[in-house]
Amino acid sequence: MRLGGGLLVALAAGAAGAGWWLLAGLVLAAIAAGVTAGLPEPGDTLVDRVAVAVARLAEVAVYAIAFGAYVFPAHRALAAAAFAVVVAGAGFAGPKLPTIVVRAVGGLLLAAGAALVAVCVAVLPVGTSDGLRPPDFAGVLVAAVLVLPFLRPAGRGRAGLRALLLGAVAVLAAFAALYQLGAVRLGLSPTSLRDLLSAADADALQPLLTAVAVVATVVPAFAAGTEVRARTGLPGLAGLAAAAAAASLLPVLPALVIAGLAAVIELLLRVRARRYSGTRE
């Protein structure tokens, strides 16, 4: 569910830094997510609660930026701020999403992703000047960090396998985008997926992409708002205001970097929780 909203902007940011080696970054992120998926959730200390809340709020900012860029490009900053306040605020105030809704949205986004990959692979791309550069290990690592927050699977059952499957979906989507646009063109704009449809002679699908962008950002942002409330209570409202400000002021790359670093910190806290539980046992 989180993956669709993240890939709307993360693929372009990753390609801008890593080129075709974005694929290696996605594989690295998928392995990290799969290996750590079975770790326990962070504890209930103040540090744990604040760290998780910051991670969710950073994701909200990314979803808000993607929503503004794809749905209201003429007023993206205002739309991003309003999105963070309204959608995440509704999640903060409202009940947890039913599991059936989460699964239905996940299935819809997977179907949309499969259709996008099929369209891009079926149409021969216009020749690009991109070449496979020597591996940029820093670029690969940054690409992995940018995508890592969105590979976290919902629920606990077979979480590692589901994280790896999400990673495979991300790799397929990235390959289709790179194949059709090339790394340079893909990395030029956060809304390069619109260029992707144009390059694949599929402009008729642009309204569908807008609808997918709405669903892919609204649902995980709502869920993130619910988790912020569970972790922080009323003080989380200040965090929502900060997320709205960040969404309206920050470019997408800093927002993605903050979300990625917050995800890494959360992962380290989960490792600590595992060690602590093992010591107690």
Distance CA 46, CA 33 (A): 24
Residue numbers of the domain that contains 32: 2-126+150-275
Is residue 57 within 8 Å of residue 240, measured between CB atoms?
yes
Q: SS3 breakdown of the chain: % helix, strand, coil, rounded to 5?
A: 80, 0, 20
Whether 181 is in a domain gets the answer yes
Whether 137 is in a domain gets the answer no
pTM (2 d.p.): 0.92
Instruction: Give CA separation, 260 vs 138, 145, 280, in Å.
Output: 14, 5, 30
Total structural domains within the chain:
1
Q: Can you read off the two tokens belonging to residue 37?
A: 């998926």
Whether 280 is in a domain gets the answer no
The full DSSP string for 51-98 is: HHHHHHHHHHHHHHHHHHHHH-GGGHHHHHHHHIIIIIHHHHHSPPPP
Distance CA 183, CA 12 (A): 8
- Tens digit of each residue's pLDDT, the chain (281 residues): 688 899 999 999 999 988 899 999 999 999 999 888 888 888 888 888 999 999 999 999 999 999 999 999 999 999 999 999 999 999 998 888 888 888 888 888 888 888 888 888 887 776 555 666 776 788 899 999 999 999 987 666 677 888 899 999 999 999 999 988 888 889 888 888 888 888 888 888 899 999 999 999 999 999 999 999 988 888 888 999 999 999 999 999 999 999 999 999 999 988 887 776 554 54
Whether 50 is in a domain gets the answer yes
